[in-house]
Amino acid sequence: MKLVLLACLATATLAAPQTYGGSDNRPQYPHIAILRDERVDHGDGNFRYEFETENGIHVNAVGTPGSEGQSNIQGFYRFPLDDGSIGEVIYVADEFGYRPESALIPTPPPLPAHAIEQIAFAEELRRQGVEWDQYGFRINRK
């Protein structure tokens, strides 16, 4: 048991970041220059900001006052991926929530044909006024 504990401790020590510095002994990260940093806030709920760094990070957002007291924001962010390509997320955040769009976001597989047919059949029955109870049994015979 002691050997396993010693092996785990050694692995954790070797996996920890090795670049330390300063009096607080925190990891030091390379300096990334900010190429652009623009911010405008009109004070009435309208704002815009955009910044870009030398390593490919790019963020842009435009905000307006929402109809229900919230801020409506449209924007995007881009960042470099490990394979050298750029990942991008475009989003809207408003009274309907946060809605991102990106090829990076996983999507479920398509429904099989028989499931689509069953859903269409159930929708047709609902249009005809058919109702079901909490167990899925039909409660009216229209």
Domain co-membership, 63 together with 121: no
Domain residues for the domain of 44 are 29-101
Taking phi first (over 0 means left), then psi (-120 to 50 degrees means alpha), and beta for anything else, what does residue 109 get? beta
Tell whether 68 is covered by a domain: yes
SS3 for 122?
A: helix
Span 122-131, pLDDT tens digits: 899 889 988 8
Q: Do 69 and 121 sit in the same domain of this protein?
A: no
Note the pLDDT tens digit of each residue in 2-59.
555 455 555 555 555 555 555 667 777 788 899 999 999 988 889 999 999 999 999 9
141 to 117, 119, 130, 138: CA distances (angstroms)? 22, 19, 7, 8
Q: Do the domain assignments include residue 92? A: yes
Residue 85 lies in a domain: yes
Contact 17, 26 (CB under 8 A): no
What residue has token string 């009274």? 95
Residues 97 and 33 in one domain: yes
Q: Are residues 33 and 96 in the same domain?
A: yes
86 & 53 share domain: yes
- Higher-confidence residue: 137 or 37? 37
